[in-house]
Structure 1
Amino acid sequence: MTVQPGGDVPRKSSGPQALLRRWGPLAAIVGLMVLVFAMGWQRYLSFEVIGSNYDALKAFIADHLVLALLIYVAIYVIVVALSLPGGLVMTVAGGLLFGWLLGSVATVVGATIGATLIFLIAKSSLGEALAAKAGPWLEKLRAGFKENAVSYLLFLRLVPIFPFWLVNLAPALLGVPLGTYVIATIVGIIPGTVAFSVAGAGLGSVLEAQSASHAACLAAHPAGGEAACPYQIDTSALVTPQLLAAFVLLGVVALIPVAYKKWSKRNA
């Protein structure tokens, strides 16, 4: 901060340090995203990788539960903060490896931390610039969103048609306060997290059967290897039309306070 001659009003510095503080975290996130996709590390976030290492993962968790939970939360934070494709896989895996209750808690913690990190980075890097250059229509949109931030955020979190990374960024650009964002994120992701954690908790027998079938195939076709015996898990049953409809209904319920407020104003 610098002080203008003849006045007391501080002005934000625009020097190299200020620019680094503002754009450095965003540049780091983008750089890490490029690195992950260039190395292909996102491919490890798959049911096939988890299934083929299921026994080893369960043994490690049995011996080092706390450490395993910390690693899981850390990976989830990275997945969310870097907007990697794999949130659903991680959530289901949490229920599979830790049980639905412990897996749900760990998932909510990791997802909330990761979402908050990207929110803060986007808010400091892009949100302030957008607010400074916002025209009347955008300022009106920001004001309306902030007025009903909890309801709108719950709707965006609950309805699964909106990508998680988009729901993390939009509130930062629309001026939502940090506390409101964190509370709405925690509440909004709980239903989906619990649902998919419960589904994951029931996949253990499926993975064991698939692992046995895969091992038998490899024994029968030693020359073919993985090409002849691909490890495949059908997870299409996890996301059913009924489950999606339930999330949409929850999202509609979240918008009831907004609709009532608008109706009250119109009929006041």
Structure 2
Amino acid sequence: MNASTLRRLLPVAILLVGLAIFLLLGLERYFSYEMLARHKATLTAWVAAHRVLAAIAFMLVYAVMVAFSLPVAIVATPVGGFLFGTWPGAFLSVVGATAGSIAVFLAARYAFRDLFRARAGTRLARFEEGFRTDDFSYLLSLRLVPIFPFWLVNIVPALLGMRLRRYVPATMLGIAPAAVVYSSVGSGLGLVLKRGEQPDLGIVFEWRILLPLMGLAALSLVPVIYRQLRRKRET
């Protein structure tokens, strides 16, 4: 492996090493609802006294969680709703998650895109061309319905040549609805923790929530379907 390849792999290696250290040291225990219940009075008092600093810190921590694909990121949005309220918490979560996603996107593109294209050859070129024509709509639909792992949806657009300037707004718009749902769950987190319970994060997969998200995802694909039908008529 030459020096150029090592340099390309370095960003991804850093993210993977960070994830490994987090898991090996068992640091997830510090990002649990039990820990929040234990320290919620101190934490809420600090947030109330330093709201701007707390908001910046929250976004930075969220970005790190997403960038390193830490298995505790799903806890962050409800906590944001608990600390800042539904709408501010959702906004801060979207910004933090998007920042972390950008780090993964850039690392994957820098490390693997050329290798991926070299291995896939002409087959990828044809698929990539089709994806890039409607990449915004495709990514938006994938973000709206949280079926695929978040880290995977961060990586695939990078390998298929999506532009960062399109990736960012599609990510922000796509994750916003679920962020509002999770943040609203977190806004009532104080009472839930007081009862010694944990919030139901599976709420996003209930039909009353999932159906509207699926509807939005379907609407986001309308331009794709329209363009494909127009091409067929023209050929």
Specify which structure has the bigger relative contact order, considering alpha-carbon pairs within 8 angstroms and separated by 6 or more residues: 2
Aligned to 1:253: 219
1:243 alignment partner, one of 200, 209, 217:
209
Q: Which aligned segments of 4 or more residues in structure 1 are displaced greater than 4 angstroms?
A: none
Over residues 151-207 of structure 1, what are the superposed CA-to-partner deviations in whole Å (9 max), with x where a residue is unaligned?
A: 000011001111111100110111111111111111111111112112211222222
CA distance in 1, matches of 2:191, 2:158: 42
* 1:108 and 1:190 in contact (8 A); partners too: yes
* 1:36 and 1:42 in contact (8 A); partners too: yes
* 2:185 and 2:199 in contact (8 A); partners too: no
Moved more, 198-207 or 252-261: 198-207
Moved more, 191-200 or 130-139: 130-139
1:85 is paired with a residue whose SS is coil
Q: Offset of 1:236 from its aligned partner?
A: 5.3
- Kindly, what percent of the aligned residue pairs are identical? 39
1:98 alignment partner, one of 56, 67, 84:
84
CA distance in 2, matches of 1:208, 1:91: 19
Moved more, 43-52 or 118-127: 43-52
Aligned to 2:198: 233
CA distance in 2, matches of 1:23, 1:129: 11
Gaps of 5+ in 1: 1-13, 211-231
1:155 is paired with a residue whose SS is helix
Aligned to 2:193: 207
Q: Which amino acid aligns with 1:116?
A: I
Equivalent residues, number: 233
User: Structure 2 matches for 1:96-245, cutoff 5 A?
Assistant: 96-210=82-196, 232-235=197-200, 238-239=203-204, 240-245=206-211
Q: Compute the TM-score of the two structures, normalised by the length of structure 2.
A: 0.92
Q: Compute the TM-score of the two structures, normalised by the length of structure 1.
A: 0.81
Gaps of 5+ in 2: none
Aligned to 1:81: 67
The alpha-carbon distance between structure 1 residues 234 and 77, as it changes in their structure 2 partners (threshold 3 A), is closer
* 1:160 and 1:247 in contact (8 A); partners too: no
* 2:81 and 2:184 in contact (8 A); partners too: yes
Greater C-alpha radius of gyration: 1
Aligned to 2:12: 26
Q: Offset of 1:101 from its aligned partner?
A: 1.9
Q: Which amino acid aligns with 2:43?
A: L
Greater fraction of residues in helix: 2
Q: Offset of 1:245 from its aligned partner?
A: 1.9
Aligned to 1:213: none
CA distance in 1, matches of 2:159, 2:199: 38
Two-structure CA RMSD over aligned residues (Å): 1.8
